[in-house]
Amino acid sequence: MPAAPAPVKQNGQSPAVEPKPHKTIRAYLEAAKDRLAASLPKHLTPERMIQVVSVIDYHTPKLKECDNESILACVIRASSLGLDLSPGMNEASLIPRKDWETGEMHCTFMMGYQGLKKLVMNTGQVAVFRTDVVREGDVFFWGYNPDLYFEHQPIGDPEGPILKAYAYAKLANGERMVEVMSRSQIEKIRDRSDNVKNAKKYGKKTPWDTDEGEMFRKTVSKRLSKSLPRSHELADAIYEDDAEYRVEPVDEAPPTIPQSRSKALALRLPSLPPPDVEDEPESEPEPVQAPVDPPAEPPTPAKGKHGPLAGKKTPSPPPGIADDDIPDGAYRLGEGDRSEGS
């Protein structure tokens, strides 16, 4: 058989080479059947799982753009938890997501609220587990008095705005538990998702937009599940699902020591370098007081007529004593200077 002629160059350039056909998801899973069978529970077979994924692929065109390895990883993850990927079961879903930095599409695994309920009931320690949303017009109240009382009458518009969501559980020992979250509480958790942030940035939709009620039920169910008896499968599923909404720690500068404490530490620990006090707020200067002169000593009275009795009429000394004979600093009281009792 003659060899095919080599492609003729046009305008000095080689003709465009057609891309190789992408291997279908079904064919890829068929080739990895052994890996898939090792993770499936007893009630599921590889053929059944491959058939379910083929149906999902048919109804989700974006799934064809995802790399097959990410799809296989999500299928194995759902199988290891014993969750059904069948549409309408709401146990788990395959969600195509775009990496906005690289532009590549990847398949991600998302646990549904029915899947969470299934894992809770599989522990064998929960008898009843129920979750629902409260819409405008419904009758809803709950509290403790001292035991839990709880009532929900969904008499409002089934398509009305959601006000809150709740999850209720009754344990095998008879204990009852309830978790109630307002719309604002749930939206704060939703807004932490990187997928939601990117969707808003590029004008795309997420399950929070298309299936709001299911996402509200799942959020409150997951919070209550953290207070219930958990199996290893349930704990791992919750931790993995929380990864999208977990707030990463931010590297912060070490806390500064107040100046008052830093000075005290500098006195107690002389080996430490002195604290930086450049940023210490300036204190108001203390008022400067004028120097106070020390009190002057009382003047020494002068002799005789030059002392404090100068200019005053003083009695004459007794006969025989001259005025100059009075000692310095002393004088004789007159009759008018004496007080009673002197």
Quick: pLDDT tens for 81-133.
888 898 888 899 998 888 877 888 899 999 988 999 999 999 999 999 999 99
Residues 125 and 202 in one domain: yes
Dig out the tokens for 22 from the structure.
């992408």
Per the CB < 8 A criterion, the answer to whether 44 and 89 are in contact is no
pLDDT tens digit string along 158-188?
Answer: 999 999 999 999 999 999 999 999 999 999 9
Of 247, 238, 235, the closest CA to residue 189 belongs to: 247
Strands (E) across the chain are located at 92-98, 105-111, 126-135, 139-144, 148-153, 162-171, 176-182
Q: Confidence band (pLDDT; 50, 70, 90) for 319?
A: low
Per the CB < 8 A criterion, the answer to whether 66 and 96 are in contact is yes
Q: What pLDDT does residue 19 have?
A: 38
Residue 76, classed as helix, strand or coil, is helix
Residue finishing a domain among 64, 87, 111: 111
Per the CB < 8 A criterion, the answer to whether 106 and 70 are in contact is yes
Q: What pLDDT does residue 167 have?
A: 96
- Asked if the model's pLDDT at residue 295 lies above 70, the reply is no
Q: What pLDDT does residue 282 have?
A: 52
Chain mean position to CA 54: 40
Residues 145 and 230 in one domain: yes
Per the CB < 8 A criterion, the answer to whether 224 and 186 are in contact is no
Residues 100 and 211 in one domain: no
Chain mean position to CA 19: 47
Residues 206 and 106 in one domain: no
The backbone torsions φ and ψ at residue 5, rounded to the nearest 5 degrees and listed phi first, read -65, 145
Dig out the tokens for 219 from the structure.
């959020």
Per the CB < 8 A criterion, the answer to whether 177 and 168 are in contact is yes
Residue 79, classed as helix, strand or coil, is helix
Write the single-letter amino acid at 300: T
- CA R_g for the chain: 47
Q: Confidence band (pLDDT; 50, 70, 90) for 204?
A: confident
Residues 112, 218: Cα–Cα separation, whole Å: 7
Residue finishing a domain among 191, 220, 246: 246
Residues 33 and 58 in one domain: yes
- Give the DSSP H/E element, type plus range, for residue 68: helix 68-81
Residues 101 and 126 in one domain: no
| Mean pLDDT within 298-307 | 52
Answer yes or no: is 102 within a domain.
yes
Residues 161, 158: Cα–Cα separation, whole Å: 9
- Asked if the model's pLDDT at residue 235 lies above 60, the reply is yes
- Asked if the model's pLDDT at residue 153 lies above 90, the reply is yes
Of 298, 321, 314, the closest CA to residue 331 belongs to: 314
- Asked if the model's pLDDT at residue 267 lies above 50, the reply is no
Answer yes or no: is 234 within a domain.
yes
Residues 46 and 144 in one domain: no
Residues 48 and 125 in one domain: no
Mean pLDDT across the chain: 76
| Mean pLDDT within 181-205 | 90
Specify the pTM.
Answer: 0.61
Look at the chain and report how many structural domains it folds into. 2
**Structure letter (DSSP) for residue 10:** B
* Lowest-confidence pick of 39-43, 188-192, 238-242: 39-43
Q: Confidence band (pLDDT; 50, 70, 90) for 322?
A: low
Dig out the tokens for 231 from the structure.
């199996």
Residues 102 and 213 in one domain: no
Answer yes or no: is 64 within a domain.
yes
Q: Name the residue range of residue 148's domain.
A: 112-246
101: left (phi over 0), alpha (psi -120 to 50) or beta: alpha
Residue finishing a domain among 111, 130, 148: 111
**Which tops the pLDDT comparison, 267 or 64?**
64
Dig out the tokens for 289 from the structure.
């007081």
Residues 130 and 99 in one domain: no
**Which tops the pLDDT comparison, 263 or 199?**
199
Q: What pLDDT does residue 44 have?
A: 80
Beta bridge partners of 268: none
Q: What pLDDT does residue 174 have?
A: 93
- Asked if the model's pLDDT at residue 298 lies above 60, the reply is no
- Asked if the model's pLDDT at residue 213 lies above 70, the reply is yes
**Which tops the pLDDT comparison, 253 or 293?**
293
Residues 63 and 175 in one domain: no
| Mean pLDDT within 284-307 | 56
Answer yes or no: is 157 within a domain.
yes
Answer yes or no: is 277 within a domain.
no
Q: Confidence band (pLDDT; 50, 70, 90) for 271?
A: very low
Residues 145 and 51 in one domain: no
Q: What pLDDT does residue 338 have?
A: 44
Answer yes or no: is 199 within a domain.
yes
Residue % of the chain over a pLDDT of 90: 33
Residues 47, 5: Cα–Cα separation, whole Å: 44
Of 321, 313, 320, 304, the closest CA to residue 337 belongs to: 313
